[in-house]
A and B are shown apart, each in its own frame.
Chain A
Amino acid sequence: MNLNDVANEALSLVKNEGFENAQVRVSKNEVQELELNETKVNLCRTNGGFSVSIKVVKDHKQFEVSGNNWTDASKKILIEDLKKGWEASSEDEAYGILESSDKKSFQDTSKPMEMEKALGKIMEFSQTTSAKYPKVKIRNLPLKGIQEETLFKNSHGMELSQKESYWSYFTMFSGQDGDKVSSFNYVGFQTQNLPEDLLNSPGLEHVLCLAEREPHAEAHTEEIKGDVVLSPYLVQDFLGFVLGQMSTGALVQGTSLFKDKLGQRVMSDKISLTSHPMAEEFATKAPFSSEGVLLEEGDLIRNGELKRFLINLYGSNKLDLPLSKVLATHLKMNRGEKTLDEMIQGINKGLLVMRFSGGSPSANGDFSGVAKNSFLIENGKISRPVKEVMIAGNILDLFKNVVDLSREAVNDGSSETPWIHTKI
């Protein structure tokens, strides 16, 4: 199916219905997947995918439909739904289609999805891991080779396209020693090329090393106060709440904790957070947003100061704020001077938290939950694994109280994050 034909036909169909102001996003992909379950690769999958999304704005009313077929019958249903939905929509002068006629094409070097080679890599991973980490039980590892093509067009002549291929995988595992089992843990990655050695993925061996010790974790019911070291995976989880405060949604709702904080310090001055949508070191790229904004590299946080809100077209019109060309995608947090070991050496008593399992944060950023796959830090060393550890605090305070960021960082293919030493 030719994406350009679909996009042109979609714009023509809605124009015939009286919608002069419209955008179409159409994409297709092919995903080949192999999944290791325990010690056996027992699933081999080939999926074809297609999606088309059409948005119209007319008389200050808006509606959007999407589907994954482009047959005569499905076109008819999409257009009928679009007409009915638009009719029912309410008026808001903030609705709009980006008035831009940018034309750009982004294409990475096409790489063949060598599935037989990938199969060998997974089997090698399984064998090497079980030999090197006998007390780690790999629950599964799905590995996907993904080829995607996206085209974005609108009524103003905008034409943006992207074609990329990459590999995506994650592994879930736990420590197991006799009848003792640890909490599960998982890490995931995206890479441009099939990794030569899956076990050599950033930070993976470190996590597996720790997992080997975890089956002997003891329950720790004493309240945790003070120093904690958060893994990069966990820092990313907590960042999600922070980024939400910068979003159009929270600002329009009036619930953003940052609504009056632009240009002010909202985190420790040790932290800078920048978006790099086209960075070479990331496996995937994000050249344009879902509404056709060409994305740029830029600061979200610089030395703890809030540099911008993440404003989409609706938010820009509604709040009379500039449309953001920097979004919360492909983020890099700056690194610190100390290594992880050096950070830990400076802690007399604390907790190393690898994963967090907690309830959704409160509107004010308060959180509580279980510090999973965790280790006590005593006298500057990782002393012993602990379990059933409940921690609580406030997410904004976590980032304000940062003591150090590590020199090491994990690049998972679409973000780069260091370890953080902070206090709760």
Chain B
Amino acid sequence: MSNYGRQLSEEFSKFPEISGDLEFRLHRNRQKNIQLVNGQLMSNQKSESSGLSSRAIDQGLYGFAAQPEWSFANAEKVLKQAQENLNILKSTGQGTPFRLPPSSAVVQATPLTKSKEFTETELIEKLKSFDQKILALGPEIKSRRVMVREQSFEKEVWTGLGGHGQFNYVRAHIYFVLTAEGKNGPVEVMKIFGGRGFVEDIFPTEEKMESTLQEAYKNLKEKMEGVYSKPGKHTVILDPKMAGILAHEAIGHTTEADLVKGGSVAGRYLGKEVASPLVSLVDFAHSYEGKECPVPVYFDDECMEASDTVIIKDGMLLNFMNSRETAVEFDQPATGHARAWAYNDEPLIRMRNTAILPGESTLEEMIASVDEGYYLMDHSNGQADSTSEFMFGVTMGYEIKNGKLGKALLDTTISGVAFDMLKTVSMVSKDMSWVDSGTCGKKQPMYVGMGGPAMKCQVTLGGRS
């Protein structure tokens, strides 16, 4: 535990000399997984993956090499191999002259400490006690699962141009899933506790546990009697918990510069109005209104200092998210988006904390303003597209009739074309809710933060007529 916050280089025997446009990275990921099924411990595992890598860069070409063991011999090996790999590519004549911005940020990580320490036994006992509270909720619960996932990520990066950065990030989540038999077959409700920190830091208080359990049980009973949403385009109120995934899937991905190069329609809209003036969207690097975001990133794996990227301001598309290379290609700043998941992964353009900014309405007046539509509260997975068409699963929601909430919905999916849908945004709430359990998938996984307020807009729902 005490290692989280130290420089990884303290555990490294000897450091090689580096110069020129190349990166050298020490990297360690750890994960703890526990799963209780119907009170029984089904899975209990710990894993660690660490290693070192080098990336040599020239003419828009990249030679990369990685090895799992931190040793001076392996460091020399990857530095040599990365250069050789770069030379293979250069020999094809595909390179083009490129002057990349200097990767020379020097950033120290904030040490992380636990607020308290659970022994392994204490943690299992606490989870079993929590499971018993679920069991006591009611006879409708036919199956229950409690899962813990704690992940830590540590990196230390050097560049041949003088950059040096350290990064520590730990997050933990407790998921629980309740299953009951509904009128249309089995239904499930999942809730999550957690966020940045170790499992000890995020373990819920009795009060929080009780209120969340009661909410889950209420939702489960409502879903047992739930109805299918009507297929087609509808006016919806997206809860603040949903705004984050909208920001991430619908807009964020389409404005990643590598996807813009790959044909994303956002490439056509730079400097143009793409949304209602009520919509502003920012990918925050590390802080929002003076507080750290769920995934604070102070530098990226190219050693570029991280700063906020304003993507949409008052409905106008202003910026893409860039690596060093795409920053040159699009003549925009490189603001620290190039991040790698594991020691043997290359940095890719990734979001950090993507959020739609709050407006002035309240959730209550937004729901009251809808004659017929849906209030959508919880989401599952999502996906973006080069056309800006997005989708994400909805696992909890309600009908809205005459400004009031009606029956609960069975699971459904919403979709829309982001740059059309954003123009239908007619109300934005004052709230700001962050979601931090997400793992984005784009060749590699990546931990991301997502946030936003409640929004009134029009989307297409799946369902049954």
Q: Which residues of A contact B (CB under 8 A)?
A: 37-38, 40-51, 53, 62-69, 71, 74, 77, 81, 84-85, 87-90, 92, 115-116, 119, 123, 137, 139-140, 142, 172, 174, 176, 179, 181-184, 221, 223, 249, 252-255, 257, 314, 357-370, 372, 387-388, 390-392
Cβ contacts under 8 Å, B411 to chain A: 359-362, 366
Known: A46-B81, A179-B268, A358-B393. A137 touches B463 (CB 8 A): no
Contact with A along B185-198 (1 / 0, CB 8 A): 11110000000000
Say whether B404 faces chain A, with CB atoms less than 8 Å apart. Answer: no
Say whether B62 faces chain A, with CB atoms less than 8 Å apart. Answer: yes
The 8 closest A-B CB pairs, nearest first, are A359-B393, A368-B462, A364-B185, A88-B120, A44-B85, A139-B262, A363-B186, A359-B413
Q: Which of B61, B187, B389 contacts A42 (CB 8 A)?
A: B61
Say whether B287 faces chain A, with CB atoms less than 8 Å apart. Answer: no
Docked-complex contact A390 and B460, CB < 8 angstroms: yes
Docked-complex contact B92 and A41, CB < 8 angstroms: yes
Cβ contacts under 8 Å, A254 to chain B: 38, 142-143
Q: Which of B184, B268, B413 contacts A364 (CB 8 A)?
A: B184
Say whether B104 faces chain A, with CB atoms less than 8 Å apart. Answer: no
Docked-complex contact B386 and A359, CB < 8 angstroms: no
A65 to B47 Cα, complex, angstroms: 6
Cβ contacts under 8 Å, B41 to chain A: 89-90, 92
Contact with A along B59-90 (1 / 0, CB 8 A): 01111111111100000000001000110110
Docked-complex contact A369 and B48, CB < 8 angstroms: no
Cβ contacts under 8 Å, B40 to chain A: 90, 92, 252
Q: List 8 A-B contacts (CB under 8 A).
A: A40-B60, A64-B44, A66-B47, A88-B123, A253-B179, A254-B143, A359-B413, A372-B385
Cβ contacts under 8 Å, B344 to chain A: 47, 49
Docked-complex contact B94 and A40, CB < 8 angstroms: yes
In the complex, how many angstroms separate the beta carbon of A374 from the nearest chain B beta carbon?
12
Q: Which residues of B contact A (CB under 8 A)?
A: 37-38, 40-42, 44-51, 60-70, 81, 85-86, 88-89, 92, 94, 119-121, 123-124, 128, 142-143, 145, 179, 182, 184-188, 231-233, 258-259, 261-265, 268, 344, 346, 379-381, 383, 385-387, 389, 391-395, 410-413, 415, 417, 443, 460-465
Known: A358-B413, A388-B460. A41 touches B89 (CB 8 A): yes
Docked-complex contact A182 and B387, CB < 8 angstroms: yes
A174 to B182 Cα, complex, angstroms: 41
A40 to B94 Cα, complex, angstroms: 7
A47 to B264 Cα, complex, angstroms: 30
A255 to B381 Cα, complex, angstroms: 21
Cβ contacts under 8 Å, A71 to chain B: 69
Docked-complex contact A369 and B92, CB < 8 angstroms: no
Cβ contacts under 8 Å, B142 to chain A: 254-255
Docked-complex contact A253 and B143, CB < 8 angstroms: yes
Cβ contacts under 8 Å, B44 to chain A: 62-64, 85, 88-89
Docked-complex contact B386 and A181, CB < 8 angstroms: yes
Q: Which of A65, A68, A116, A183 contacts B68 (CB 8 A)?
A: A68
Contacts A88-B119, A359-B393 known; 15 new A-B pairs at CB < 8 A: A38-B261, A49-B68, A53-B47, A65-B47, A71-B69, A81-B46, A92-B40, A255-B179, A314-B42, A357-B383, A359-B381, A366-B411, A368-B462, A372-B385, A390-B415
A59 to B79 Cα, complex, angstroms: 48
Residue in B closest to A254 when the chains form the complex, CB atoms: B143
Residue in B closest to A42 when the chains form the complex, CB atoms: B61
A253 to B258 Cα, complex, angstroms: 42
Cβ contacts under 8 Å, B188 to chain A: 362-363
Residue in B closest to A219 when the chains form the complex, CB atoms: B417
Q: Which of B187, B263, B417 contacts A362 (CB 8 A)?
A: B187
Cβ contacts under 8 Å, A172 to chain B: 262
Cβ contacts under 8 Å, B69 to chain A: 50, 69, 71
Docked-complex contact B62 and A42, CB < 8 angstroms: yes
Residue in A closest to B182 when the chains form the complex, CB atoms: A364
A361 to B389 Cα, complex, angstroms: 20
A223 to B45 Cα, complex, angstroms: 46
Docked-complex contact B393 and A65, CB < 8 angstroms: no
Docked-complex contact A65 and B45, CB < 8 angstroms: yes
A253 to B265 Cα, complex, angstroms: 44
Docked-complex contact B65 and A45, CB < 8 angstroms: yes
Cβ contacts under 8 Å, B182 to chain A: 364
Docked-complex contact B64 and A43, CB < 8 angstroms: yes
- Most central of B231, B263, B344, B393 by chain A CB within 10 Å: B263
A61 to B380 Cα, complex, angstroms: 34
A252 to B46 Cα, complex, angstroms: 23
Docked-complex contact B94 and A42, CB < 8 angstroms: yes
In the complex, how many angstroms separate the beta carbon of B77 from the nearest chain A beta carbon?
8
Cβ contacts under 8 Å, B123 to chain A: 88
Cβ contacts under 8 Å, B231 to chain A: 223, 368, 390, 392
Known: A44-B85, A68-B51, A366-B410. A255 touches B462 (CB 8 A): no
Residue in B closest to A176 when the chains form the complex, CB atoms: B263
Residue in B closest to A138 when the chains form the complex, CB atoms: B262
Docked-complex contact B89 and A44, CB < 8 angstroms: yes
Cβ contacts under 8 Å, A179 to chain B: 268
Known: A67-B48, A369-B415, A391-B462. A253 touches B145 (CB 8 A): yes
Cβ contacts under 8 Å, B67 to chain A: 47-48
A51 to B411 Cα, complex, angstroms: 39
In the complex, how many angstroms separate the beta carbon of A47 from the nearest chain B beta carbon?
4
Cβ contacts under 8 Å, A62 to chain B: 44
